[in-house]
Amino acid sequence: MQKFLTDVHTHSTYSFDGQSALADMLETARAKGLAFYGVSEHFDYAYLLGGWAEVMTDAERYFHGARHLQEDYEGCMNVLIGAEFGYTDDARAYAYYKDIQEKYRPDFIVNSVHSLRENDYYDGDPFREKNEKGEVVFREKREVYKEYLGLIRKSLDAPYDYDIVGHIGYLTRYAPYEDKSMPYQAFAAEIDEILKTVVKKGKILELNASGGVDGFLLTADILKRYYALGGRKISYASDAHAVEKVAYCRDEAVKSLKEIGFTHITVPCKGEYIKVEL
């Protein structure tokens, strides 16, 4: 049986941090033989809260331009036009995402935690606090990681539709600690709560190749636990922001998924979940 290649959750210059134009990303994906390619530009209300309106994706421009390109690839490659919502625990954020959903009907939605309130883990602020002398010091790793996992758990109950739970472990990319890892054993209770909820809600867990302690966000120990709890819906994402990263480390990802026992990748498209053999 033919194995279809998938990469669902990528970016282009429609996002503030994208480096390659969507047309170039799509041409690279086609050249690499991908059957399903999903683009999911950033929609992050936290940036508005932080006063960075200039980095917000222009939804009208994005969906209009991307839908045209999607038509161009019809019959040649399944291009999915999606969105990555940055979960922000704020009613205004929920309204903003619902509005985007209703207006533009993305083919799929990735729900990701990037920020603690308006502070992206990328900038390091969630790792810092002031001590009693007023000096800026690093917070205790366990406290920061548990808080992050608590946010992920909350994001699963977001009052808007989403398909994929994005890159669990995102903060390990930017953590200032010598040991940045977030092993299952050390946070078993919090991680179990998340995984059981993902299974119960029928959402898709994402294996994301954009970094982290061992090169992937969602480490093998957490994937194994998800499988043991009955989780079977998994997606692969390069989270590419530039052409060089399209389908990055996909073979390694597939190998580790097969070793655990997974037989399929799940591709969400307009509310339908397509099973693609690994």
Give the per-residue contact string, 193-232, with Zn ion (x = CB under 5 A; - = no).
----------------------------------------
Residue 156 or 260: the one with the smaller Cβ distance to Zn ion is: 156
- Residue 276 CB, nearest approach to Zn ion (Å): 20
- Residue 133 CB, nearest approach to Zn ion (Å): 36
Residue 142 or 149: the one with the smaller Cβ distance to Zn ion is: 149
Kindly report the CA angle at 247 between 242 and 249, in degrees rounded to 5? Answer: 110
- Residue 84 CB, nearest approach to Zn ion (Å): 5
Residue 112 or 256: the one with the smaller Cβ distance to Zn ion is: 112
Would you say 27 and 20 are in contact if contact means Cβ atoms under 8 Å apart? no
Q: Is 239 in the site for Zn ion (CB under 5 A)?
A: yes
Number of residues near Zn ion (by CB under 5 A): 3
Task: Say how far apart CA 209 and CA 246 lie, in whole Å.
Answer: 10
Residue 215 or 261: the one with the smaller Cβ distance to Zn ion is: 215
**3-class SS of residue 105:** coil
Would you say 26 and 37 are in contact if contact means Cβ atoms under 8 Å apart? yes
Phi-psi region of 212 (alpha: psi -120 to 50; beta: other; left: phi over 0): left
Residue 156 or 186: the one with the smaller Cβ distance to Zn ion is: 156
In the window 125-154, what residues touch Zn ion (CB under 5 A)?
none
For residues 68, 74, 78 and 80, what is the CA-based torsion angle, rounded to 10 degrees? 20
- Residue 244 CB, nearest approach to Zn ion (Å): 16
Task: Say how far apart CA 266 and CA 276 lie, in whole Å.
Answer: 6
Using CB under 5 A, which of the segments 79-87, 96-104, 189-197, 226-234 binds Zn ion?
A: 79-87
Residue 75 or 113: the one with the smaller Cβ distance to Zn ion is: 113
Q: Quick one: which of 195, 226, 249, 231 has its CA closest to 7?
A: 249
- Residue 259 CB, nearest approach to Zn ion (Å): 25
DSSP 140-188: PHHHHHHHHHHHHHHHTT-SS---EE--TTGGGGT--SSS----GGGGH
Using CB under 5 A, which of the segments 116-124, 129-137, 190-198, 237-245 binds Zn ion?
A: 237-245
Q: Which residue is nearest to Zn ion (CB)?
A: 112
In the window 88-127, what residues touch Zn ion (CB under 5 A)?
112
**3-class SS of residue 252:** helix
Point out which residues bind Zn ion (CB under 5 A). 84, 112, 239
